[in-house]
Structure 1
Amino acid sequence: MSAFLPIRIRFVDGRLMLVSSIRDAETALGGQWNNKETPAFKEATRLLAAAKEGRCTPRVAFLAFERAAREQLMVQSVEGSAALKMYDELVGSLFRR
């Protein structure tokens, strides 16, 4: 099981990757991005390294990675499974009362 809900990113070269862990995010940083000099990209790189060393929570590092990917319009929508859709409907009905 992955540590985070997966996000699918599309690199500049058109390649797709599903990212759901710190290790995946580090691998993805090595792919082709529009601009690896943006502050968000550099911050994601720094926080992912810090998370590996135990100086940052993995959640914060993963969110920084996701932010960097979103800034560069690399995040692709991922179609949820039928079970996830059923769960979303159930949870949603609890709050619509």
Structure 2
Amino acid sequence: MGKFLPLLIRFVDGRLMQVSSITEAELALAGQWPNKEADVYREAARLLVSAREGTCTPDIAFIAFEKAARQQRLLKPRKPSSGLRILDSLSESN
């Protein structure tokens, strides 16, 4: 399991991938993206390499990856877990 909350990515070819670590984010960049020449994609790729090399924090690199996926409309919403649904229903009843 990765360090980050999992992101669900749907590539251009329809393939799904769950991403929750820097390594998985690097693998996801190799998938089919709408525009691999976009600045946001290239910045995410650069920061992920920097995080692996230790010159960038993993948090910043993962945020850049999430931003790139969101801007290219690859990020898919996830349903809240059953535990979160229970907590939400409890907080709404008060």
Indicate how the Cα distance of structure 1 residues 53 and 91 shifts in structure 2: closer, same or farther if over 3 A, else same: farther
Report the CA distance between 1:87 and its aligned residue: 3.9
Using the alignment, how far apart are the partners of 1:51 and 1:87 within structure 2? Answer: 34
Identity %: 55
Q: Offset of 1:85 from its aligned partner?
A: 2.5
Q: Deviations over 1:8-58 (max 9, x none)?
A: 010000000111000110000000000000000000000000000110000
Q: Residues 1-97 of structure 1 correspond to what in structure 2 (within 5 A)?
A: 1-88=1-88
The code of the aligned residue for 2:38 comes to T
* Stretches of 4+ aligned residues off by more than 2 angstroms: 84-93
Which secondary structure state, in structure 2, belongs to the residue aligned with residue 8 of structure 1? Answer: strand
Q: What is the CA–CA distance in structure 2 between the aligned matches of 1:46 and 1:92, rounded to whole Å? A: 43
2 CA distance for matches of 1:84 and 1:52? 32
Structure 1: stretches of 5+ with no match in the other structure: none
TM-score (norm 1): 0.87
Report the AA paired with residue 15 of structure 1.
R
CA RMSD across the alignment: 1.8
- Structure 2 CA distance, aligned partners of 1:61 and 1:83? 28
C-alpha distance after superposition, 1:37-92 (max 9, x if no partner): 00000000000000001100000000000000001001111112111233455678
Rounded Cα–Cα distance in structure 2 between residues aligned with 1:29 and 1:91: 38
Counterpart CA distance in 2 for 1:57 and 1:89 is: 36
Q: Choose 74-83 or 36-45, whichever is displaced more.
A: 74-83
